[in-house]
Structure 1
Amino acid sequence: MLRQIKFLHYVLKSFLYNSFNSSLTLIETAFQPTLFCFDILIRILGPLFVVLVIGLTTVVVVLYYRLLVPRILTYGFIRSSCHLLYAHWLLVNICHQYYRAVCTEPGYPDEVIDIIVYLYLYKKLCSYQGIVAKPPRTHHCRICRRCIMKMDHHCPWVNNCVGRNNHRYFILFCVYMFLGTLYVSLSGYDLFLDQLYLQVYRSKLNLASEYETDQSSALFLGILCATVAFILLLFTGWHCFLISTNQTTIETYANKKKKKLLKKKGKRFRNKYDRGFVSNWRSVLGISRNDSFALLLWPKALPPIRDDYRTDYSNKLNGNFIVETVRSV
């Protein structure tokens, strides 16, 4: 009986087993139905996440005017003017960068360059879309159902993929949103603590207050901004590290494996896309060598610095394409 069970086991393996597949591949295949449902859910909830971000930002702005501006106006003309100018500068940049991150297409290979040139250069097609050429650092997004050039990840909070064309707006939105929530948290720090102590004191003595609405609003504003600022500090810090080393979130997983393999062989891993700290940031932010980083202080649409490809169809001798890569800075 045991021999028959083993025989059936080997027969089953002969049909299903593949020595090239790892355990991770098997796990991913088993969870494909779950991932498929999750992708559909994210696709449906994407617009709701955008509405949520806009709604919470609006609530914070309204509460800022209602609770903090009256306190700021008592600081004196110069100090209060600096507060208001800084707050509105942050608000304008947050709105602009978020709008650009949501509405800017992340970059699609079939809309950037002739497919024939990509096939000649890279000889690689997207396994999902078939006829779409897949240049380096391009990945297929199952939620967007398209290939994204230099894809970092799909962000539900912007209902869009973060790719080559909108990476700049995404990271700047994170930075400005962090600065904005940090500013509100610090500027109303004493107010939030006073309301917290008062809330605890009232609950212990079972006292009623005619200012209960303002107290709850102040606590909500303080907790929300402090929580978002802390989360964005970690999240933005991680993405700043990725940009500094010219990696994407997707590439970090592959690079970790390469590091382990090379370490066993006594070799050191080096990212072939890393062109140095400053050049990496200029490439993502769309700032050329002749421009200053001060451009980031103002809401402005700048395309990313990227490699442009030109084709020269030639009928010489062997009939091959002469492909010239030009770096546009």
Structure 2
Amino acid sequence: MGSSTYRPPARTMEVVINKYVVKLKYCYTCKMFRPPRTSHCSVCDNCVEVRSPCPWVGNCVGKRNYRYFYAFILSLSFLTAFIFACVVTHLTLRSQRDGFLTTLKTTPARYPSALVICFFSVWSILGLSGFHTYLVASNLTTNEDSTRGWCGSW
């Protein structure tokens, strides 16, 4: 029987910050007390403050790089909406000159595929940027929003 002198730290620790008591949780993987609004990411194996991992960019989106991620999805939303509008405008103008069916017959793969791809991309990317605009406006993280539930109570 060997005596082990290692004792894991307490699971939580209370700290006073600006006259408020804040409960910090211990992360056994990172071996540190996590700051508030931080969660451990199983993808990058680090504690990420404020935000969560994003499978679309293949990176954890945290406090330091969230503004770049948000700017990226907003610009991507504008780009896909612009491309969709340009394809529709070009198809409409060319259809007025040659006729709709003639335009589709002369370029059978270009317009329908571009319209379908842009249509679904616009809705998914606009939905993602709309969701993150909601998160920014309500000062929530993705994890906080998903654990909050539909009724809005913790």
If the length of structure 1 is used for normalisation, what is the TM-score? Answer: 0.35
Question: Is this contact kept in 2: 1:181–1:229, CA < 8 A?
Answer: yes
Deviations, residues 248-268 of structure 1 (Å, cap 9, x unaligned): 11001333389447xxxxxxx
In the alignment, does 2:103 pair up with 1:248? no
Residue 158 of structure 1 pairs with residue 61 of structure 2: no
Aligned residue pair count: 130
Alpha-carbon separation, structure 2, partners of 1:244 and 1:177: 20
Partner of 2:123: 230
| C-alpha contact (below 8 Å) 1:178/1:232 kept by paired residues | yes
| 1:137 equivalent in alignment to 2:40 | no
User: 2-side partners of 1:234 and 1:141: how far apart?
Assistant: 24
- 2:69 is matched with which residue? 170
Q: 1:141 to 1:259 in 2, by over 3 A?
A: same
Question: Please, which runs of 5 or more residues in structure 2 have no aligned partner?
Answer: 1-12, 16-22
CA distance in 2, matches of 1:183, 1:260: 38
Residue type of the alignment partner of 1:128 = T
* Residue 158 (structure 1) shift: 0.9
Give the CA deviation at 1:190: 3.7
CA deviation profile, 1:232-278 (whole Å, cap 9, x unmatched): 122211110111010011001333389447xxxxxxxxxxxxxxxxx
Cα displacement string for residues 183-235 of structure 1 (whole angstroms, at most 9, x for unaligned residues)? 1111221434649x438975xxxxxxxx5xx5413332232222211111222
Matches within 5 A, 1:1-329: 121=15, 122-129=23-30, 131-151=31-51, 153-192=52-91, 194=95, 197-198=100-101, 202=105, 211=106, 214-256=107-149, 259-260=152-153
Q: Which 5+ residue runs of structure 1 have no aligned equivalent?
A: 1-118, 203-210, 262-329
Using the size of structure 2 for normalisation, the TM-score is: 0.70
C-alpha separation in 2, matches of 1:182 and 1:259: 31
Larger Rg: 1
- Give the alignment's Cα RMSD to 1 decimal: 2.9
Question: 1:156: how far off?
Answer: 1.7
Whether the aligned pair in 1 keeps the contact of 2:24 and 2:36 (CA below 8 Å) is: no
Higher helix proportion, which one?
Answer: 1
Separation in 2, partners of 1:201, 1:186: 17
| Greater per-residue strand proportion | 2
